[in-house]
Structure 1
Amino acid sequence: MNQAYIALGSNIEPRLEYLQLAIQRLKEHRSIQIKKVSGIYETAPVGFTDQNDFLNMAIRIETTLSPLELLDTCQEIEHSLGRKREIKWGPRTIDLDILLYNQENIETERLTLPHPSMHERAFVLMPLMDINHHLYLSHIEKDVSTLISEMSLKEKEGVVQCNKIDGGKE
């Protein structure tokens, strides 16, 4: 079984519902087992900032899919939930990014793993820490908790935990 970590994000209402639907569709896939789900964090947009705030989270899965098959599955779910790719870093109903796949290093035209900027983004690292604070990122030779401790307070303050996936408050 392969282990992968996926980041989920949404900033088009109903944001929480899009996250829940994406997780449900991943659960329904016969080759994917969701093993752990982070809390949900609200964050300001990065890159293109003239848009609504995001809800972000992460999941750990086990799968028999190859990395590219997993990418295809994630993109099919995005498409089925109305994801449009019109503006780079623009608004989206749902975004599913594969962050890690068995600690493998992969670089193709369609997929780069580990995700190239995951270690720089508090909105990715904080949900990952919910799942596994000892998660080691071999491409930068640090674990998630170390990376978060090295981030500025301003970066961390911009990532606010707000909900669990069932919608309950923390």
Structure 2
Amino acid sequence: MQREPVEAYIGLGANLGDPMAALRQALGRLAELPHTVVLRASGLYGSTPVDSSGPDYVNAVACVRTRLTAPALLSALQAQENQAGRERPYRNAPRTLDLDVLLYGSARMAGPVLTVPHPRMTERAFVLMPLAEIAPDLVSATQLAAVRDQGIWRLAG
């Protein structure tokens, strides 16, 4: 039996190596995931680290339609992170690529490996601003106002 497709939102970020190239490549690889189609993607945003260190980040959000389960989607995203040289020496370490499942349809789940909606997405301008660009109905003015003091800017190109 084939699963019904679900719209999922993926957060993308990087701050090591060539972050802009890493995000562009990651967006292309999302389209290569089995049973997955990229519906839309935000522009790229620069942001100062939040609960992290290192250089400024480049961030984006993509919306995909997928038949993968949420855990299978996360596993595929983590495989892409590993291919991009992601290391996890400590929590919130600088990274060559970070891919997070932000939303998976209307699902709500909390487990040791995956929590959806992403537990900190509404606290981070680098998620809310690009998400609001591609899905304005999913982000409220109140949520945007709560993160307005975080350093974020739209990148050219």
Q: TM-score, normalised by structure 2?
A: 0.93
Per-residue deviation at 1:29? Answer: 1.8
Name stretches of at least 5 consecutive residues in structure 2 with no aligned partner: none
Mapping for residues 105-116 of structure 1, pairs under 5 Å: 105-116=108-119
In structure 2, C-alpha distance between the alignment counterparts of 1:26 and 1:78, rounded to whole Å:
12
Match of 1:151 in 2: 146
Identity %: 37
In structure 2, C-alpha distance between the alignment counterparts of 1:153 and 1:114, rounded to whole Å:
21
Match of 1:4 in 2: 8
Which residue of the other structure, out of 48, 53, 57, is the alignment partner of 2:60?
57
User: Structure 1 residues 30, 58: CA separation in 2 closer, same or farther (over 3 Å shift)?
Assistant: same
- AA partner of residue 102 (structure 2): L
In structure 2, C-alpha distance between the alignment counterparts of 1:74 and 1:15, rounded to whole Å:
16
In the alignment, is the contact (CA less than 8 A) between 2:104 and 2:116 conserved in 1?
Answer: yes
Per-residue deviation at 1:78? Answer: 0.4
In the alignment, is the contact (CA less than 8 A) between 2:124 and 2:147 conserved in 1?
Answer: no
In structure 2, C-alpha distance between the alignment counterparts of 1:123 and 1:48, rounded to whole Å:
13
Q: How many correspondences in the alignment? A: 153
Moved segments of 4+, more than 4 Å: none
Which residue of the other structure, out of 122, 126, 130, is the alignment partner of 1:123?
126
- AA partner of residue 130 (structure 1): E
Asked whether 1:48 is paired with 2:57, we answer no
In the alignment, is the contact (CA less than 8 A) between 1:133 and 1:145 conserved in 2?
Answer: no
Name stretches of at least 5 consecutive residues in structure 1 with no aligned partner: 136-142
Query: How large is the RMSD of aligned CA atoms in angstroms?
Result: 1.2
Match of 1:14 in 2: 18
Per-residue deviation at 1:145? Answer: 3.8
3-state SS of paired residue (1:154) = coil
In structure 2, C-alpha distance between the alignment counterparts of 1:22 and 1:30, rounded to whole Å:
15
3-state SS of paired residue (2:12) = strand
Q: TM-score, normalised by structure 1?
A: 0.86
Per-residue deviation at 1:152? Answer: 5.3
In the alignment, is the contact (CA less than 8 A) between 2:36 and 2:67 conserved in 1?
Answer: yes
User: Structure 1 residues 103, 14: CA separation in 2 closer, same or farther (over 3 Å shift)?
Assistant: same
Match of 2:35 in 1: 31
Q: Deviations over 1:3-23 (max 9, x none)?
A: 100000000121111101111
